[in-house]
Amino acid sequence: MTRLLVDCTYVYDHPNDNSGIQRVVRNVIRELPTINQECECIPVVMLQGKLYEVKSLAPLPTKGLDLVGLRAGLEQFANLLWLRQRTLERRRPFNQSVWARRLLYVGCRLFALGCLSIPIRVLDRLLKRQQVPPRSVPLEHRAGDQLVLLDSSWHSGFFPLAEKLKREGVGIISVVYDLIPLTHPQFCDAGLVKVFNHWFDWIARTADGYIAISTTIRDQLREEMVRRIGEQQVRERWFDYFHLGSELDLVDATSAIDSKLLRVFTQPEPVFLMVSTIEPRKNHAYLLDAFERAWAAGSKARLCIVGKIGWKCEDLIERIRRHPQLNSRLFMFNNLSDHSLEHAYQHATALVFPSYVEGFGLPLVEAMQRGLPAMGSDIEVFREIGGEFMAYFNLEDPQSLADLVTGMENSGVFPASRPLDQWQWLSWRQASAQLVERIERHIDEVILDRETACE
């Protein structure tokens, strides 16, 4: 029986993160045990040069203070502190004096060290000593196992362990979400571009097969591999894809929906929803430009932005916070629960998603699966996901989105070629099954080719 060792190291170490890749990992891992009796699927983590089987991806309940939650809260506060520092240094007197900027930086640095960095280190030590039931146990690998790099492995230091496993007969399969740090580095942090490029060189040399999250990324991946290692070596690897599911797995129906969000949907005017981390690639500035044009033309539509604050977005956040329509026709929520997000999906008029580039576009299927129509930028991967059931706008012209918004507002008709009630998509169980089935098929083909070559 084939054993798939499915890596979830980052999510295991950061259980409170809830962005796109973390959603994928949690949901795929949750569905793995029930999808295939012919293949044993084992969630694993690679920690300190060793392999462990995961028993619980989420932290186990403990008595007393929630140290994991406290540590996550401190990390989030640290991110907000440095966002505020970068915003302030653009204002007077800091933008007029290098000494004022240095004083601001030193002050923030000292505060972060004393109130954030040191407490986080103390919490890390306490968590290591905390007596709780083990979330993972040591796992012995076997020749013929397949290590599936499902998680965001470019931040990990497990290359030596993975190479050791490969030398001892374990196959390496890399899940690829996108190539954005390579193809669009201007949207990424410089450090990520460097780390991602190093990781890609490693998987290009080390992995036996690659499975992307869309046909668009699969084809881009193969082209990039040809550029890096040549057509001959690429022909020795396999390439495939699987599509992502759509359910929100952290919905707690007993929790309260954000009261400010509830008020957004109490008025009769249409609400257009944007769900994404706030960072340059997601193109929120274009979104504001389009809605400002619609508002200037008399539209009463409202724009609701949902997503945590990311990177390179200081000017955008400042623009939103100073916008004359804020809390009137423009709303922003940076820390909604899945229950509140579910409410937004169910009560909005349409989703708007103006990204420059994506590997998939998870909010599209989350919205459309709930009957919420979606308007997206006219890029290849969105055409792959939405087909004729979505409406598309031109990223070169914000007026094209403004026209879609006002047209739907005036007519009440969503401007897609086909009705959304004819659209169907995968559940997370089906997505996980698709991932495992396609990996199994390629493994069987590789084994058959080897047997044929030996005859």
Contact yes or no for 427/247 (Cβ under 8 A): yes
β-bridge mates for residue 278, sequence order: 309
What's the rounded Cα separation, in Å, for the pair 349 and 302?
Answer: 10
Percentage of the chain lying above the pLDDT 70 cut: 93
Q: Which amino acid is at 445?
A: E
In this predicted structure, what is the pLDDT of residue 33? 64
In this predicted structure, what is the pLDDT of residue 135? 84
Contacts of residue 266, defined as CB under 8 A and 6 or more positions apart, other chains included, come to none
Digit-coded pLDDT (tens) for 146-187:
999 999 877 667 889 999 999 999 999 999 999 999 999 999
In this predicted structure, what is the pLDDT of residue 294? 97
Low-confidence ranges of the chain (pLDDT < 50): 132
Contact yes or no for 151/19 (Cβ under 8 A): no
Q: Which amino acid is at 38?
A: E
The third-level CATH classification (topology) of the domain covering 259-422 is Rossmann fold (3.40.50)
In this structure, the strands spanning 39-47 and 50-54 are: antiparallel
Instruction: Please name the CATH architecture into which domain 2-59+134-245+429-454 falls.
Output: 3-Layer(aba) Sandwich (3.40)
* One-letter-per-residue 3-state SS of 316-373: HHHHHHCCCCECCCEEEECCCCHHHHHHHHHHCCEEEECCCCCCCCHHHHHHHCCCCC
In this predicted structure, what is the pLDDT of residue 95? 83
In this predicted structure, what is the pLDDT of residue 132? 45
